[in-house]
Structure 1
Amino acid sequence: MEEGKMAIGTLSEEVLNRLSKMLDNPTCGWRQLAKVLSEHPRFQCSEAELTSCSLQVLSAAGSPGRTLLALLADRSCPLDFLIHGLRKVDHQEAVQYLTTLAGETIRITMQPQSQQATMGSRVVLTCRATGPPGLCYQWFRGREEMGCTPELVLCPLASAHVGHYICRVNHGENCTFSQWAQVHLVHSAGSSCSSLFPGSASGLRIICQPQSQTLSEGNSLTMECKAEANPPAQYRWYSNMVEMPEHKTNLLKIPCVTTAHRGLYSCKVFNIYHEAWSDTAKVDIGETHTHHFYVPSTDKVALLIGNMNYLYHNQLCAPIADVHELANLLRQMDFKVVSLLDLNCQEMHSAVTEFLMLLDKGVYGLLYFAGHGYENYGNSFMVPIDAPASYTSEHCLCVQNILTRMQQKETGLNVFLLDMCRKRNPNDDVIVRPGLLKVTANIVFGYATCVDAEAYEVKESNDVSNGIFINFLKKRICEDEKVTVMLDRVAEDMGHCVITRGRQALELRSNLSERRSLTDQIQDAECSASFSARNLQWAVAHVLPKSKYLQFDCGVTVQLGFAAEFSNVMVIYTRILEKPKEIVSCSAQLTDFPQVINLKKSNQETLPEAGCLLLFSENLSSPEVPRLYTRICSLQRLRRELTFTVCLHYTYCNMDEEVEERKPVTVGKPLVSKLNLHEPQQPPVCSASASSSFSPDPFDVPECSYFSEGFPSVESDTSHTPLYDAQAGRESPVSMGSSRSTNIPEETDSPDYFDHPTPLVGRKSLPHSQVHDTNYKFSDMYNLHFH
């Protein structure tokens, strides 16, 4: 479209609705207009599109004319061409309406252009517009009004003229703004470098390099990097190519190291003229203790699913807290954790398939599910959020089938923690026959309740609380004990609780004969090719976009930060980093998100207002800086790259009108969206173990490698694209190991949680009711780990 021409897409909703009413008639309307406009190939409508327009009459609010205008707007049809078509079909009313409208609309036909010139020269900025007679022009540099003609002349050019300029064209109450133009001052050819940069650098040279070290857990780490530079150098330390923002001096000091501090360290040295990198130093951290009963594992992976927002069943409250807290505790024990909320049937199938791909010989696999469930004929079924009211095994996932497939991987330990009801489902008479289980000694089932019983949660109106099972489990799960011993202690704690006695009791089923603990160390992980492959596959689902810095024409700089609450839930925050002093009010808001994204609230001033109850602004970088938060759920349904728009609204101190600038942003496919869980997973290359005899179970999908189907290579996702800890404003390595000293759960004796009997809420099938048990709280997550 030629510059200055008005497009249909720029018309207001009011104008489009009025025009569509004029076109919704059979004799001189939208169909005749579509035929005339089809003379231009670009605006030709297909039969399917015309049929879509016709079908709008079946809806009370439908409009064929409005649908046609939307199609034309998508193709950037100029308003002049639309008027031309209306004249050909002799629609005089519409022609007169649009002609009058076009005459009253102010359109910029010549935008001012940025320029650079030498001191004392002549610079002319030009802005021209069309519209009603008597247009007025106003030029501004910041808050200062500079002129009132279409041409702004700066002569002789001086340093005071440097800056951003904008022109406002107005007629009465109607106005529009030009684009920004910047005036640069450049020095003449004879100017010396010293005149541009007084005190220019004499160089930068590193004279002391950091040295490799071998330490034990609990030791202190000290590294030094020193440079000679003019101006003086600044320092930034990096661990495994991830910036450590708290270390900004030439000395790196960590008073108490753990195995999480293993890796490669380097220092970036820089000033305004030069930049240099130190040598890379390797830090090895040895263990200060060994387990008395050591049971090796080749890796540890966990899939946590919490279903709350059911379409046809009671809504649940506790799974969000249960999954979040359990994920943090498992990470302390070096588990690779994928945590997901609110999955439909297809997404649950795909998520379990991805989980199975992470398993291998000797790997510890843990599956936790919180949501509605049932048990028929000894088989347990997890219910997706889209299961119909009278669901059967056809709509659910059979846990025993998953166990059979896990055994095919020769896993070292299989742990199932099922936080759901085990009542019989009267609608399901099908007897599911899973594949035969191997005779192994490595299976543990921890049921939150007994056979034919309910599992419960306590619903609180003003806080996030755990379900009964996780509230007791979280105090024991990190104990260095055999899994069955740990779960037995959880069962004893639950038995001492007054409000659960006689209602809910943990049931443990196990054939575990070896001393296997969730705290077991991973053996020879660094030299295992399969470990590296699993590391990559896990990392694919946990990559956050890097923080973005957007520079707007008015001189405002906006930061976009990202934090992961779950593997499929992300928080985006915007904050103003810099703004000219002439701007008195300024905010950056996000809009235009894809429809598949679950976005209940956006651009909120606090995380709780955005629906985020488990992250805290204090954990984000610079918490004192005002910002707006947007919480995005259901990332697993994102089919394309995540795109949205940043709208900057600002006001100058001498202007009443609010100015808006918009910038589109694309951040790729964050977190679990890369795995395409919304699609049936049928890759071309399958493992030999993919065959199965689970005919009654719709979950029976072959397991395959997805690296050949558009997944990033090892180089792109692990070596050069480390995971991003957006809350701390830094990157973090692909390795998921973390110190056990972080995120310590509350250590309170079990009976103290329930000093007074409290009415329970049926967690999975009974109606909710309000209770007020102030002792029953979700523990403070004061030191969060992010994906």
Structure 2
Amino acid sequence: MVDVCELSVLLRKLGFCVISLVDLTQEEMLTAVNQFLQLLDIGMYGLFYYAGHGYERSGRNYMVPIDAPQPYRPENCISVQKILQKMQERRTSLNVVLLDTCRKWYNSDCAVSVVTPLKPLGNTVYGYATSENAEAYEVQDEEFSSGIFMTYLKKHILKEKKVTNMLEDVLEDIGRDPLVIGKQVMEIRHSLKECRALTDRICTSASQRLHSTVWDHQSKIPKQMVKFSCGVEVELRFKMVFSNLIHTFAKLTHTPAQLTDIKIILYKPSDMANQSKACKRDPVDSLVALEDDGEEADCMLRLYSLQTCQNDIIIKVDLHFTSFDGVRMQESLEHVMPKPWIAKLFNRSGPLCLGRRHRAEAPESMPTMETQLTTDFLDTQPGAHPINSGQMPLSSQSKSSSEPEENDENDITYVMKNALEYKKLP
């Protein structure tokens, strides 16, 4: 989780407008990808990054949603090749797909997705964290974990280099890492016909700069002050870790001298009880749980799955304290957060246009074709595994029909992360 957050920060430094999402169902993945596609425009740079559970089948790569039944089948997963095909239909100037996921061959008896070949337009780049039929690894370092691919991608992504040359630097660093020698080798495929870099300058008009300002504003929630009748003042700050995950911090800013043993607790009402967590600092999330200025909060509430919100979010702030006469007392207030922008994006039916183009790009009209990603609905082929949502694959199954393997060596683990990123550049 931490390294994906850091990647989002780096992409914003490069001028990307970033949507980052975690823990999505298949329906939510499809919605997110389709909204991403609608945001792309003629002359833009589109970057799609995925870190999480995945597999490969006959040259097709599949992202596995959190609700996919086992054994995995194409109709329950998301085809990466279809995403790239739809990105190309938006007539972007550069399409980059980065896959930080396993590519173990899986479920060979199952029919593959029907994907038409890409048009010979060029300027498409694939960056695979690992090679065919191999795993992608993470290093566990006490409280934190970091993917091998992400570790070196963060090191090079800000360099002013042709995107393929930048990825080659990542490949070479991974190849020298003693932890994964003989286990993980990055792979690059591309049809880059022009010298394109992620650091290319953005050419914008005044209206486009305004759209960019509006976009940046969406990722920032202003701090709020909560005042209790006893005189205690609490500042609420909000940090968007992912587009659908917010950390809410509560910090005591004023406490009357006659009150002691003051404690703040943040709660979420029952409608999001399963999507939030009130806590003190969680060691596993200690890096992302810090406020932007590095100051520790007195309490933190973690709000998940914001894309599912139908209304404003009401946060309950409980204050417990001991009065001057030794009586333990409690006060409660409610703070209303407007409906998250990501929920509005998921609920919208039309495109959201925030265009940025190269000056060299003359066309001003969008493609007329409908750009929508859908799931694969395939008939069960002879010998294919039926969908089984209630059972895990048996351990005695062959590698071709079992869940992609995870490495159990010391210091190297495999975890799931979901994130969607995109950039709008020249």
Structure 1 equivalent of residue 164 of structure 2: 484
Alpha-carbon spacing, 1:406–1:689, altered in 2? closer, same or farther (3 Å): farther
* Residue 516 of structure 1, CA deviation: 0.5
Structure 2 equivalent of residue 365 of structure 1: 46
Structure 2 equivalent of residue 771 of structure 1: 410
Structure 2 equivalent of residue 697 of structure 1: 376
Structure 2 equivalent of residue 403 of structure 1: 84
Structure 1 equivalent of residue 184 of structure 2: 504
**2:302 is aligned with 1:631:** yes
Structure 2 equivalent of residue 613 of structure 1: 286
1: CA distance between counterparts of 2:260 and 2:352? 59
**Cα shift readout 1:404-425 (whole Å, capped 9, x = no counterpart):** 2111211010000001112222
Structure 2 equivalent of residue 572 of structure 1: 248
Q: What is the 5 A alignment of 1:232-271?
A: none
659, 673, 687: which is aligned to 2:329? 659
24, 28, 32: which is aligned to 1:343? 24
* Residue 433 of structure 1, CA deviation: 2.1
**2:125 is aligned with 1:444:** yes
Counterpart code for 1:590: L
Alpha-carbon spacing, 1:618–1:422, altered in 2? closer, same or farther (3 Å): closer
Structure 1 equivalent of residue 67 of structure 2: 386
8 Å Cα contact 1:435-1:692 kept in structure 2 = no
Counterpart code for 1:346: E
8 Å Cα contact 1:324-1:566 kept in structure 2 = yes
Secondary structure of the residue that 2:90 maps to in structure 1? Answer: coil
1: CA distance between counterparts of 2:32 and 2:373? 18
2: CA distance between counterparts of 1:379 and 1:534? 35
8 Å Cα contact 1:408-1:689 kept in structure 2 = no
Alpha-carbon spacing, 1:413–1:437, altered in 2? closer, same or farther (3 Å): same
* Residue 321 of structure 1, CA deviation: 2.6
8 Å Cα contact 2:167-2:188 kept in structure 1 = yes
**2:332 is aligned with 1:672:** no
Structure 2 equivalent of residue 514 of structure 1: 194
2: CA distance between counterparts of 1:413 and 1:331? 17
1: CA distance between counterparts of 2:58 and 2:103? 11
Alpha-carbon spacing, 1:661–1:596, altered in 2? closer, same or farther (3 Å): closer
Secondary structure of the residue that 1:459 maps to in structure 2? Answer: strand
Counterpart code for 1:463: E
Alpha-carbon spacing, 1:616–1:396, altered in 2? closer, same or farther (3 Å): closer
Alpha-carbon spacing, 1:382–1:521, altered in 2? closer, same or farther (3 Å): same
Q: Which blocks of at least 5 consecutive residues in structure 1 are unaligned?
A: 1-319, 699-763, 774-787
Q: What is the 5 A alignment of 1:712-727?
A: none
2: CA distance between counterparts of 1:552 and 1:575? 13
Q: What is the 5 A alignment of 1:11-410?
A: 320-410=1-91
**Cα shift readout 1:555-605 (whole Å, capped 9, x = no counterpart):** 22222121122222211111222232222232221124344355564141x
2: CA distance between counterparts of 1:423 and 1:669? 40
**Cα shift readout 1:265-306 (whole Å, capped 9, x = no counterpart):** xxxxxxxxxxxxxxxxxxxxxxxxxxxxxxxxxxxxxxxxxx
Alpha-carbon spacing, 1:580–1:459, altered in 2? closer, same or farther (3 Å): closer
2: CA distance between counterparts of 1:406 and 1:534? 21
8 Å Cα contact 1:401-1:697 kept in structure 2 = no
**Cα shift readout 1:39-96 (whole Å, capped 9, x = no counterpart):** xxxxxxxxxxxxxxxxxxxxxxxxxxxxxxxxxxxxxxxxxxxxxxxxxxxxxxxxxx
465, 471, 488: which is aligned to 2:151? 471
1: CA distance between counterparts of 2:373 and 2:308? 27
Alpha-carbon spacing, 1:353–1:519, altered in 2? closer, same or farther (3 Å): same
Secondary structure of the residue that 1:338 maps to in structure 2? Answer: coil
* Residue 666 of structure 1, CA deviation: 1.0
Secondary structure of the residue that 2:36 maps to in structure 1? Answer: helix
8 Å Cα contact 2:276-2:301 kept in structure 1 = no
2: CA distance between counterparts of 1:653 and 1:770? 57
* Residue 428 of structure 1, CA deviation: 5.8
Identity of aligned residues (%): 37
2: CA distance between counterparts of 1:354 and 1:384? 17
* Residue 515 of structure 1, CA deviation: 0.8
2: CA distance between counterparts of 1:428 and 1:595? 42
Structure 2 equivalent of residue 30 of structure 1: none
Counterpart code for 2:282: P
Secondary structure of the residue that 1:619 maps to in structure 2? Answer: coil
**2:102 is aligned with 1:425:** no
Q: Which has the larger radius of gyration?
A: 1
Secondary structure of the residue that 2:300 maps to in structure 1? Answer: strand
2: CA distance between counterparts of 1:645 and 1:591? 5
Q: Which blocks of at least 5 consecutive residues in structure 2 are unaligned?
A: 354-365, 378-402, 413-426
**Cα shift readout 1:598-656 (whole Å, capped 9, x = no counterpart):** 5564141xx335x53333647338x37x6212222222222221112111222212133
Alpha-carbon spacing, 1:464–1:560, altered in 2? closer, same or farther (3 Å): same
The size of the alignment, in residue pairs, is 375
Alpha-carbon spacing, 1:693–1:522, altered in 2? closer, same or farther (3 Å): closer
* Residue 431 of structure 1, CA deviation: 2.8
1: CA distance between counterparts of 2:107 and 2:291? 49
Alpha-carbon spacing, 1:383–1:541, altered in 2? closer, same or farther (3 Å): farther
Q: Which has the higher contact order (CA 8 A, sep 6+)?
A: 2
8 Å Cα contact 1:568-1:635 kept in structure 2 = yes
**2:219 is aligned with 1:542:** yes
8 Å Cα contact 2:266-2:299 kept in structure 1 = no
2: CA distance between counterparts of 1:501 and 1:484? 22
Alpha-carbon spacing, 1:669–1:696, altered in 2? closer, same or farther (3 Å): closer
Counterpart code for 1:493: D
